[in-house]
Amino acid sequence: MTTDFPYGTKDGHIPLPFGERDDRPGLLVLTDMGGTGDIAAAADAAGLRLLEVVGLEGGSSRLDIQLGCDIILLLCDSPSPILERLLVQVDTFAIQREMPVILVAGLDTIDLAYACTRNDRTQLLCQPDETDLAATLLAAVESLGIVHSVHDLNSDSDGLRLQKLSDEVSRLARTLETLTHKRHQAAPSFDLGPRISDRPSDYIGMPALAPLGDGQEGMDAGSDVSPQQVRDMLRVRRLRDEFLPGDLFADPAWDMLLDLFAARLEQDRVSVSSLCIASAVPPTTALRWIRTLTEKGLLQRQADPHDGRRIFIALADSAAAALTRWFAANRRLGSFEGKGAIPA
C-alpha cells in the first residue's frame, strides 16, 4: 500500500457536498500501515463509504462502539503484541453480525491470521496487488446483497452477472492504477529449492506431531516412494521455468498436493506460509487454492496442540491414498524407474 494521500483528508475520508446523504455500504479499515490514500480510492471506486481508518492499537475500542459498518478491512503486515487479540475480536464481531471481512496479511503474519479465522465470509489475502484488492472488495459488496450504483443485478442472468463483475474488476483495477502514486513492491521470487519450512527455533522443546490419520489407507501400494522422489518431481517442475515462461505451467494445486505428500512421508508438518511458497504462485493465489482444496476435502486444517496460534495444513487420508495410487500407476506405465524422479 502507498504512504501518500492522493485526495481526501489524511485519514482517508472523502468529503461529500453539504447536505448530501451517503447510503453506500460502510467500510471500516484497521491497519498497521502508514498510508490510506489508495484504500480510499479503492473503497470509493468499489461503491463503498469509508467510515474511518484506525490504527491497530485503536482497533479494539473502535469495534466496541462501531455502528453502521458493513465490511471490515484489516491490514496486518507486521507481527505485533496486539494482533492476535484483534484478529479474534474482528472474527467474532463479523460472525455475530454475519458480515464479510477482508484480511490482508504479510508473509510474517499469514499463519496467525489463518489460525484466527473461523468466519466463512472472511477473505484472506497476502501481499495482494490492486486487481486482487479490487476483486475482493467487489466480491464483499456483492455478498451483502445490496444493489448499488456500480452494477444493477436485479434482472441479470448468472452469466451476464459474472461478466459484469469481471468487467467491473478490470475497470476498478485501472482506476486504482491511475490513482495510486506509489506502486507496491515487486512480489518475492517463489523459486522452490528445498521446501521452506518454519524456523527451527519455532519448535525448540516441542514434541513431534503424529502424522494426520493412521497413515495406512492406500499407503502400502506405494510404500517404496520416498519423500526425495516426490521433491525431485517438484524440482523438475520448477526447472521448466529456466527454459520457458513460468506462467505457462502454473499448477498450484498439484504443487501443493505433492509438497504435502512429501511432508506426510517425512512425518513433517507444513504451515500456511510454507505451503504458499511451495505453490510457486503469489501467496494470495495460493490462499484461494488452499481454501478450494480444503472445501473439496483434499486438505485439512491441523491444530498445533502446543500453540493455539498455529494451524498446519495436511493431506486428508483420502488424498494421500489417491496420490499413492497415482505413483503406483506411474510406475506401472514405466514413468518411474528405480529411485529416479517421476516426470511431471
Does 97 share its domain with 219?
Answer: no
What is the SS3 string spanning 131-165? HHHHHHHHHHHHHCCCCECCECCCCCCHHHHHHHH
pLDDT at res. 291: 93
Distance between CA atoms of residues 15 and 203, nearest Å = 51
Average pLDDT over residues 178-182: 46
Q: Are 149 and 28 in contact (CB under 8 A)?
A: no
Query: Would you state the pLDDT for residue 64?
Result: 83
On whether both 223 and 296 belong to a single domain, the answer is yes
Residue 168's pLDDT is 57
Domain membership flag for residue 10: no
Q: Provide the β-strand partners of residue 92.
A: none
**pLDDT for the residue 167:** 56
Q: pLDDT by residue (tens digit) across 8-60? A: 334 444 444 444 567 889 999 999 876 556 788 888 888 898 998 999 999 99
How far is 291 from 293, CA to CA, in rounded Å?
6
**Would you place residue 340 in the very low, low, confident or very high pLDDT band (cuts 50, 70, 90)?**
very low
Query: Nine-digit cell at 327?
Result: 505413483
Number of domains in the chain: 2
What's the pLDDT at 334? 63
175 plus 216 within the same structural domain:
no
Does the CA dihedral 173-166-140-114 come out positive or negative? negative
Higher pLDDT, 115 or 22: 115
pLDDT of residue 7: 30
0.75 surpassed by pTM: no
CATH number of residue 116's parent domain: 3.40.50.2300
185 within some domain: no
Tell me what the mean pLDDT of segment 113-127 comes to: 91
Tell me which of 134-143, 159-168, 189-198 is least confident.
189-198
Percent of the chain with pLDDT over 70: 67
Return the pLDDT at 304.
85
pLDDT confidence band for 250 (50 / 70 / 90): confident
| Whether 114 and 59 share a structural domain | yes
Question: 47 near 150, Cβ under 8 Å?
Answer: yes
pLDDT of residue 207: 43
- Of residues 304 and 150, more confidently modeled: 304
Q: Which of the four pLDDT bands, split at 50, 70 and 90, describes residue 331?
A: confident
Segment 131-151 shows an average pLDDT of: 74
pLDDT above 90: residue 333: no
Q: What is the CA radius of gyration of the chain?
A: 22
Q: Are residues 82 and 165 in the same domain?
A: yes
User: What residues make up the domain containing 34?
Assistant: 26-179
pLDDT of amino acid 94: 92
Q: Is residue 338 part of a domain?
A: no
241 and 161 in one domain? Answer: no
Q: Which of 226-230, 236-240, 244-248, 280-284 has the lowest mean pLDDT?
A: 244-248
pLDDT interval class at 134 (50, 70, 90): confident
The answer to whether residues 169 and 205 belong to one domain is no
More confident of the two residues 9 and 243: 243
Verify that 127 and 213 share a domain, yes or no: no
Average pLDDT for 149-168: 49
What pLDDT is stored for residue 244 in this prediction?
85
pLDDT of residue 239 exceeding 90, the answer is no
> Are 260 and 293 contained in the same domain?
yes
Model confidence band, residue 219 (pLDDT cutoffs 50, 70, 90): very low
